[in-house]
Structure 1
Amino acid sequence: MLLHTILTRMIQSGTLTVRYPSGRTQEYGDGREPKAGLWLRSARAEWRMVANPGLALGELYMDGEAEPLDCSLLEMLDLMADNLWAGDRHPMETLNYQLRRLRRHLDQLNPAGRSRRNVAHHYDLNGRLYALFLDRDRQYSCAYFATGQETLEEAQAAKKRHVAAKLRLTEPGLEVVDIGCGWGGMALTLARDWGARVTGITLSEEQLGVARQRAQEAGLADRVRFELLDYRRLPEFLGRPVDRVVSVGMFEHVGIDHFRGFFRSVKQVLKPDGVALVHAIGRSSGPGATNPWLAKYIFPGGYSPALSEVLPTVERSGLWVTDIEILRLHYAETIRHWRRRFAANRDAILSLHDERFCRMFEFYLAGAELAFRRSDHMNWQLQLSPSVGAVPLTRDYIADSERAAAGGRVSA
C-alpha cells in the first residue's frame, strides 16, 4: 500500500477518491470541494503510479488502465495538479524530476536531422486533425484575449494584430521571415493585411504543402513563399538581410544548447535597424525539465524555457531587447477552446485515428490547460533589434497600431 501512503501525504486540499484494482475505495484529502476520483484498474497501474507517475498516468489513461471516477478527466487532473504544487511532492516523482533536470541537455540536443524528426512526430499528422479543433486559420499557438469573452477566431486574429504591431510594419513591401510558419496563417496575414513580403520556413512537409496551397488560393503566391528549411540555414539561404523576423510557437523546439545559435541566426538575417518578435511558451519558476509523458508522446525534444535561460543568450548575440511582455492566462483560455472543440469533434477524429490516439490528445489538452492555469507556465514575447533606436520610445505605438488594424487600416 505504498501508493496509499504517498497519496495520504500528497492530497491536502479537496478530496480525491481512489478505487483500487481490488475494488477497495479510499478517500484522500480534507473531505471538502473540489472532489474528483481516480480508478486504477490493474495492479500494474497501481505500481506504475508509485514508480513514475509523471509518465505513467498519461500512459495508463491512454491504455484504459486508469480512468476518472465520477468526474471528468480535467477535474481529476486539476485536483491532482493542485495538490502536487500545494502539498508534499510524490517522492519518486521528485527523484525522477531531478534526473530529468540532469539529463536535459541530452534530451534537448536538437541537431538539424533530429529537429526534423521531432517536428514530423507531431505536425506531419493527418491535416484534418488540426482543422477539427483549431480556429479557421489554424493558429496552433497562444491566442490573445483582451477580456476572455472573445471567440477563438477573434482571439487568434487579435494575436496576429498584436504581433504585427510589435513588428512595426509601417510601410508596404517590408521583407519578413517567419521562422516556424506552421500552416502559413501568420505569413499570409502579414502579406494580405500589412503589405509585407514574407518568407515562411518550416520543417513539416505536411504544413509546407498546406501553406503553399493556401498562398495560391489567396492570390498571394507572388508575395509569400514557403520553404522546407532549418533556421540554422537562413543566413546562407537568404543571402541578404531582411527588415523583420517573426517566430511564434517555434522556440520551444530549439533546445537549450541551441539558443545561442538561434539568436545568432536572427541577428545575422536582420538589417541594422530591423525588428524581430519571438513568441514562446515559458515558465515563471525558473529552469525546469519537460514532463516525460509530453516529451515521449507529444513534443519530443521540446522544452519551455524560463526567461532567465533565454536572456543571457540574447545579450551575447548583440541584440537589444526592446520589449518584453508576459501573457499569463491567455494560453489556458486558448487550450480550453481547443479542448472543447476536440470533444465536440471526437467522432470525426476517431475516424482518422484510433481510440488510444484520441485519449492521448485528450490527456495532452487537459494537462496543457492546467499547466497554464494552475502551474508555472506562461507565454513570453521578446521584441529584439540590433539597434537601440529601432522602435519608438514608449509602447503606445503597439496599442495604436492594433486599434488602427482592427478598424481596417494599418497605422504607421
Structure 2
Amino acid sequence: MSGVRRLVTFADQGVSSVSNFVAVAIAANVATAVDFGQFSLAYAGLLLFLGAQRALVGETLLVRYSRTGDLTPATASASLGATMLVAVPAVLFLLAGALLGGAEHAELWLLMAALSPFVLLQDAIRYLFICQARPVLALLIDGIWAVGSITAMLLTARSGGSLVLVLLWWGIGAAAALVVGLLLARCVPAVVSGGRWLWLNRDFSFRYLAEFLTLNASTFAVLYLLVFPLGAAGVGALRAAQLLFSPLNTVFGAIKTAVIPELVRTRGTSAFRSRLLETLAIVLVLALGWGAAVLLLPASAGEFVLGDTWRNAEDLRLPYALQYLAMVPYTVLLAYFRASQANQLSTLMRGVLAALTLALPLGFAATGSAAASAWGFAAAVAVAAVSGLMAVRIRNRSVRTADAALEPAD
C-alpha cells in the first residue's frame, strides 16, 4: 500500500510541475516582451513565498505529523491558518510591485496579489492530504486545477484574450481546487491557531525556513554576480543547460512529498532502511538514464528545445549531468535527516551547499568560462553530499560509543 501511495504522490508532483510549466508557456504566448517581464517578476515573487510556505508549513507537517493519528482536525486547521499568515506578506509584496511597476502594469500585479492566497492555500492542502496518507486527494485537486485552468487559458488565448484575463482563469482554477480541497479535508483555516502552531513548531518550521531562504539567497546572488565575469549570454547558457535536466527537479521534489512521510511512518522499524535504499536505487537509475539521454542528445533536438542558446549550452551538459548525479545522495540524505529529525545535520549540509554555491562557481568563473562555472556548481553539490555522509558517520560512531559506554562491564 505504501508503494502505491508513493507512486500517486510522484504522479501528483508531476501534474503540479507540468501544469505550472504549461501555464507559464501560455502566458508567454499572449504577452508582449515587456508584459511577460513584469509577469515573470511577479511570478518569481509568488514562487518565493510558495517555497517559504512549503518550508515553514509543508515540511513541518510531513516530518512531525505523518505518523498515523498525529494529525488531528484542529492541527490541520491550524496549519492552514499558518499558511494564511504566510499569504499576508506575499500579498503585500505583490501590492508593492503594483506601485513600483507603474500604472500600465498595476492591473497584472494586483491580480497576482489577489490570487496568491488561493495558490498558497491550495498547495498547503496538498501537503495536508499527503501527510494524512491520502495522496489520491492531492492528485485530484491538482488535476482539477490543471485541467480546468489550462483548458480555459488555452481557449482565452486562442480568442485573443489579454494576459490578465488568461491569468485570471489560472487563479479561478486554483480557487476551484481550493474549495474542493477544503470540502474533502473538512476543515477551514484557523488563523489565530495558525500563529500558535508556528510558535509550537518553531524548532522545525523556523529552521526549515532559514535553510530555504539561505539556499535561495545564495542561488539568486550567484546568478546575478556571474553576469560580471561571464556576461548575460554566459548566465543564459548556464540556465539553458540546467533546463535540460529540469525533469529531474520534479523527481527530487517528489522525494520530499512522497518519501519523507513514508520514512516517518516506518521510523524505528526494519522497513525504514529498505525504503531509503529503494529510494536511492530508483532515483540513481533515473538520474543516470536522464543524464545519458541529455549527453547523447543530437544537435537538432537541442536546437529545437533551446534555439540559438543550444550552441552556448551544449558544452555544459557534462558538468550538469554530474551535478544532478551528485544531487541523488544529497537529496536522499536530506530525506533521511528530515525523517530522523536530525535537523542540525540537515542545516549543516544545506549550509555547506549554500556557501559553496556562492563561492565555487564565482571562483571558477574568474577565467571567463561558463563551463568552469558549471563545474563549480557540480563541485558544490558533491562536496555538500560528502559532508552529509561524513556527518552521518560521525553521528553513528558517537551513538555506538555512547551505547558501548552504557554496557555493563564483564
Q: TM-score with structure 1 length normalisation? A: 0.23
Greater share of residues in strand: 1
Q: TM-score with structure 2 length normalisation? A: 0.23
Greater share of residues in helix: 2
The answer to which structure, 1 or 2, has the higher relative contact order (CA under 8 A, 6+ apart) is 2
